[in-house]
Structure 1
Amino acid sequence: MNLRQLVSQTAIYGLSSIVGRFLNYLLVPLYTYTYSAAEYGVVSEFYAYAGFFAVVLALGLETGYFRFRQNPAYASDTIYANALSLLTLANTGFLAAVAYWRQDLADWLRYPDHPEYLVWFAAILALDGITALPFARLRAENHAWRFAGIKLSEIAMTIALNLFFLLLCPKLAQHWPDAAWLRFYDPTLGVGYIFIANLIASLTKWLLLMPQFRRIPVNLNPALLGPMLRYSLPMVVIGFAGMVNEMLDRAILKILLPYDLTTNLKLLGIYGACYKLSILMSLFVQAFRYAGEPFFFAYAGRADAKRAYALVMRYFVIAGVFIFLLVTLFIDFFQYFIGAEYRAGLEVVPILLMANLLLGIYVNLAIWYKLADRTGLGAWVALAGAALTVALNIYWIPLWGYVGSAWATLACYAFMAAASWLLGRHYYPVPYPLARIFSYLLLGIGLYFANRWTLREYHWNAWLSGSLGLMIYLAVVAAFDLKPLIRRS
């Protein structure tokens, strides 16, 4: 894969992620206008837990597969068969354990009346864990369009089922309460139908990936799996620590907020909904990660690899700051994607957008430990970031509420990016354009505060002020980066 392929495949992954996740994101208004903040807090909490388990159940074998398939000592199909067999065994065991202890787990999570939530979520996680490797193979073999098609099909199914369960079924039950098929619809299940829709969509995804499972023998070779796991398991630590940074706030807000359970769930729902407003940055980082990881490994042996990595970082930051400004300067438009009750938390959106941009910078910087086979050191960086997240959340949530969680996320990703850069200088030095990177970050933050000042002091039209700020940024980018790039081309 070359730089042009990286850009094109990032566009494909980005298009599928942005279009798909944006369509899925349109469910947020449905949820926030249908359910109270306390009810939506239950959804936010469960999906926070899901993030942790998704990392553990993938066993880090996506990155391990990318690394080992480049090794001529191993056949690619053999590596794939062993990794897929291990993932299937581990995820099936996880689902069986949750199903067996479902009531005990539901009591512990304070949802004693809904143990079925846990079984449904365990099934979703198991299907996602098993299908992680087929998706990795599609990425490695540059089947970006098939990858995108399956992802979009899953999201389309999720949307259709949510609309069916949350909008159509209540209306049909109201007009034809004695219809026979309504025996399968229980309005008291509430947010449970969100989980059911997700489960059916995950089953659909698994069926669409069946060609990647055919003619794959069950194979558990310790001589191969041993080295793979030694390389991959630190990625679990890194991914789990990343989930601590990304999801811990929504998992523990219910516990650390100094109010009663109902109020805590309401505030959790507000924070979870406002977190969704940073979705564009998250989508951009995710799309880049999908295309970037295969590119970094494939490009590593070239003489100009480090120069290419520096160039990638430079334009990643330019695009990331643009997304930051797009959302923050036009927040008056984006706020209508969530219900009025949830808009009390809009102050966290700029903080979370910048935090996710720093996460993307860390993703770029962290290539050093993957290429230098220092995943253990990468794990220590992630663990240190997770420890910082835990400490800051415990300290700041009782003081500042969910705003403290947002600042903790930003502080963590800033620390991890700095630590990764310092270690990378020693183990895999890349000439990143630090002055240019910091200049664009400061320009974006400065334009955001200038926009707030003009709105507050001079009562400018919000659209006019936001458009002016965005135009200034694009003019600077055109003068200092696009023109020189076009001239060199």
Structure 2
Amino acid sequence: MSSVAKKLVGQTAAYGISSIVGRLLNFLLFFAIHSKVFGPEKYGIIGSLYAYVGFFNVLYTMGLETAFFRFANRAEVNFQALYNKVLSFIIFTSLAFTACILIFINPIAEVIDFPDQQLYISWLAIILAVDAITAIPFARLRLENKAIKFASLKMANIFITIGANIFFFWFCHGIYFGEFLPDLKPLVSKIYVPEWGVGYIFLINLVANLLLIPMLWREFRGFRFKLDLTFMKPLLRYGYPLMIMGFAGMVNELIDRILLLEFLPENFYPNLSTKGAVGVYNGCYKLAMFMTLAVQAFRYAGEPFFFSQAKEKNSPATFALVMKWFVLICTFIFLFVSINLEDFKLLIRDPEYYQGLGIVPILLLANLFLGVYYNLSIWFKLTDKTQIGTYISFGGAAITIILNILLIPVLGYMGSAWATLACYFSMAVACYILGQKYYPIPYPVGAITGYLVVAVLLVLAALYIPIANSVWRHLFHLVLCAAFLLLVLVVEKPKFSLKR
């Protein structure tokens, strides 16, 4: 078990380089530049449009990434033939979907209430196709355990995106508005149009993603286009419940932005419009993404790892051990960020966003339970009962929609945060109960629950014990973090021999 754990930790770290560093740089980009250039109103436009992109991403990939993992592990399957046919199908459908969006772009723009943003929507449609087409080569890299190459390509994409954002929104923006180097304004004016505003974000994303195709030339080099619908039928049968589950997941993750636009009463926040409130919510959500970083890094390595270990006789014990330490790490992230929120908020350059910081601890805890759900969900993927995952996800989506509709008019975006927590907690509980019936795994539920309760109590202590002096307050917060780590050390150390 020790070597297996080391392998998973190593792969998680490699995938985490791209996932964590990438998202961290994007967060810093928002905190350092976007929160200064774009107020909550404009940032609300970005959040709303990318919410729709999240739903379409699921449609474009159709659950075929996971189906590719599942079928590639079957002895009778020719790997290269499988890869060719899956990628061919994705290329065909992605280009078809994007063509449909471009043909019907005007009515689509009207329906989603962005009637003047057809150009941005066109760019997003192309981005969707490129993302889907490159998803299968990236899945192949994961399956072949080429974590370093996977991370390197992702990092290249990230640095291109970050560099272009810095160039346009700091260098060009600063020169154009006379903040520095005013003599260069005539030159910058030829390449920088301030009126484009958030449009540069979509254009940069498009160019950076297109550059991934030549970067993946080795994965495309041996590819032969072969559209075989008969061959794809079992993969689609396996993948479509995952696609439906993905739609439900997007409802849980992104629908709150759309529902805030619909159900937040006018003047609920005296100093904010409805789109401004969405911008504040989306901006503060960035701080909660520290949890998502850990969850995402684990998911990249975890899914192929779980499939590869499923045939081992001690796999249930391995899965239980992985779950416990995953929760311990995420619980500490929840604790550390929540009790030091007054320091993390300084990353945001526009104080107008500060009014939404109360959602951060709730969303951190919500994303922790989402990570627990991802761990638990391996049972229905291994037993080919993916339809049960669909039912769980739809139940979570129903909770999300109902609670958002009920709570937004009363609590504003705080209601959306509580709805997210209720959704992911309910999904994790349902997945655990059903999993113990069909694929029993000895998860240490008592220990996990105990650690979570302690962390929540420590966060409440940090939030509600008033300490006026900032030095003593920070010291108190460090003591709380150290107390949790000491508790883990005292409880867990006796369970492992010195050799382990």
> 2 CA distance for matches of 1:369 and 1:265?
39
What do residues 112-155 of structure 1 show as CA deviations (whole Å, max 9, x unaligned)? 22210101111111111111111111011000001111111111
Residue 461 (1) aligns with residue 485 (2):
no
Amino acid in the other structure paired with 1:126: A
Q: Which residue of 1 aligns with 2:328?
A: 318
What do residues 182-218 of structure 1 show as CA deviations (whole Å, max 9, x unaligned)? 3443211111111111111111222211221122111
C-alpha contact 2:172 2:188 (8 A) present in aligned 1: no
Q: Which residue of 1 aligns with 2:276?
A: 266
Question: Secondary structure, in 3 states, of the residue corresponding to 2:221?
Answer: coil
C-alpha contact 1:455 1:465 (8 A) present in aligned 2: no
Residue 82 (1) aligns with residue 92 (2):
no
What do residues 66-110 of structure 1 show as CA deviations (whole Å, max 9, x unaligned)? 100011121111111111011111111122122222222222333
Residue 431 (1) aligns with residue 442 (2):
yes
Range 442-451 or range 208-217, more displaced: 208-217
C-alpha contact 2:175 2:188 (8 A) present in aligned 1: no
Question: TM-score, normalization: structure 1?
Answer: 0.96
C-alpha contact 1:53 1:125 (8 A) present in aligned 2: yes
C-alpha RMSD of matched pairs (Å) = 1.8
Shift, 1:34, TM fit: 1.1
Amino acid in the other structure paired with 1:188: E
Residue 15 (1) aligns with residue 24 (2):
no
Amino acid in the other structure paired with 1:448: V
Residue 395 (1) aligns with residue 406 (2):
yes
Amino acid in the other structure paired with 1:466: H
230, 240, 250: which one aligns with 1:243: 250
Q: Which residue of 1 aligns with 2:429?
A: 418
Range 86-95 or range 96-105, more displaced: 96-105
Shift, 1:459, TM fit: 7.5
> 1 CA distance for matches of 2:203 and 2:329?
36
Question: Secondary structure, in 3 states, of the residue corresponding to 2:465?
Answer: helix
Shift, 1:305, TM fit: 0.4
Shift, 1:457, TM fit: 8.4
2, 5, 9: which one aligns with 1:3: 5
> 2 CA distance for matches of 1:96 and 1:320?
41
Q: Which residue of 2 aligns with 1:192?
A: 199
Question: Secondary structure, in 3 states, of the residue corresponding to 1:17?
Answer: helix
Structure 1 206/337 Cα, relative in aligned 2: closer, same or farther at 3 Å? farther
223, 226, 229: which one aligns with 1:219: 226
C-alpha contact 1:2 1:295 (8 A) present in aligned 2: no
> 1 CA distance for matches of 2:462 and 2:435?
36
111, 124, 127: which one aligns with 2:127: 124
Amino acid in the other structure paired with 1:323: I
- Structure 2 unaligned segments of length 5 or more: list them: none
Amino acid in the other structure paired with 1:302: E
88, 92, 95: which one aligns with 2:98: 95
C-alpha contact 2:44 2:276 (8 A) present in aligned 1: yes
Residue 379 (1) aligns with residue 390 (2):
yes
Residue 474 (1) aligns with residue 474 (2):
no
Amino acid in the other structure paired with 2:400: T
Amino acid in the other structure paired with 1:84: L
What do residues 354-380 of structure 1 show as CA deviations (whole Å, max 9, x unaligned)? 000000000111111000110111111
Question: Secondary structure, in 3 states, of the residue corresponding to 1:157?
Answer: helix
C-alpha contact 1:37 1:269 (8 A) present in aligned 2: yes
Shift, 1:304, TM fit: 0.1
Q: Which residue of 1 aligns with 2:291?
A: 281
C-alpha contact 1:454 1:460 (8 A) present in aligned 2: no
> 2 CA distance for matches of 1:229 and 1:424?
24
Q: Which residue of 1 aligns with 2:264?
A: 257
Range 97-106 or range 7-16, more displaced: 97-106
Structure 1 459/33 Cα, relative in aligned 2: closer, same or farther at 3 Å? closer
> 2 CA distance for matches of 1:171 and 1:267?
27
C-alpha contact 2:284 2:359 (8 A) present in aligned 1: yes
C-alpha contact 2:69 2:143 (8 A) present in aligned 1: yes
> 1 CA distance for matches of 2:362 and 2:322?
24
C-alpha contact 2:42 2:276 (8 A) present in aligned 1: yes
Counterparts of residues 57-206 of structure 1 (less than 5 Å): 57-174=60-177, 175=182, 179=186, 182-206=189-213
Range 257-266 or range 10-19, more displaced: 257-266
Residue 364 (1) aligns with residue 371 (2):
no
What do residues 152-196 of structure 1 show as CA deviations (whole Å, max 9, x unaligned)? 111111111111111222344453588467344321111111111
> 2 CA distance for matches of 1:322 and 1:445?
10
Range 127-136 or range 403-412, more displaced: 127-136
Range 418-427 or range 174-183, more displaced: 174-183
What do residues 384-422 of structure 1 show as CA deviations (whole Å, max 9, x unaligned)? 111111111111111111000000000000110011011
> 1 CA distance for matches of 2:41 and 2:88?
41
Amino acid in the other structure paired with 1:398: P
Range 289-298 or range 189-198, more displaced: 189-198
Amino acid in the other structure paired with 2:241: P
Q: Which residue of 2 aligns with 1:332?
A: 342
> 2 CA distance for matches of 1:275 and 1:178?
35
> 1 CA distance for matches of 2:419 and 2:366?
9
> 1 CA distance for matches of 2:306 and 2:122?
38
C-alpha contact 1:307 1:430 (8 A) present in aligned 2: yes
Residue 35 (1) aligns with residue 38 (2):
yes
> 2 CA distance for matches of 1:482 and 1:66?
36
> 2 CA distance for matches of 1:488 and 1:419?
37
C-alpha contact 1:45 1:251 (8 A) present in aligned 2: yes
For this pair of structures, how many residues does the alignment match?
Answer: 489
> 1 CA distance for matches of 2:228 and 2:297?
33
- What is the percent sequence identity of the aligned residues? 42
> 1 CA distance for matches of 2:456 and 2:123?
42
